[in-house]
Homo-oligomer: A and B are copies of this chain.
Amino acid sequence: MEYDNNIPIYLQVINRIKKDMIQGNLPMGEKLPSTRELAVQYQINPNTAVRVYKEMEQQHMCYTKRGLGTFVTEDPAVLLEMRASMARELLNSFVQEMKELGFSKQELITDISTRFDEEGQED
């Protein structure tokens, strides 16, 4: 995984994990890798890995059993709300920004439609 230098690594990792949860790669209740494993997987410092799980726990995305490990939340509502809020945020700020750049609704739809079908060659 490559990191964007302008965004804290731990946030980028959290984002990656969130998407894995939403896509079902990390099913509910599943044990997450230990902080040490996570550190290896994502090539980050163990402390940063700890921070990732701590932050995620505060967002109720996972929970911890003492001495056992960290587990994906078992509450489907949390996942749904997470997906919804991420989408809402992306959508709102995108539409607002594009409006301010003077794009019309039709232009937006056309551009998105075109872009959607291309593979993600570049970002």
Contact = CB atoms under 8 A, between A and B. Distances in A.
Contacts of A103: 87
- The bracket for how many chain A residues form the interface is 35 or more
Copies of this chain, complex-wide, total: 4
Interface string A79-118: 0000100110011111111111111010011011101110
Nearest to A7: B6
B122 A19 contact: no
Given A95-B112, A112-B112, A102 B83 contact: yes
A123 interface: yes
Given A23-B100, A101-B22, A116 B87 contact: no
Contacts of A34: none
A98 B88 CA distance: 10
A9 interface: yes
Residue among A45, A64, A92 with max Cβ neighbours from chain B (10 Å) = A92
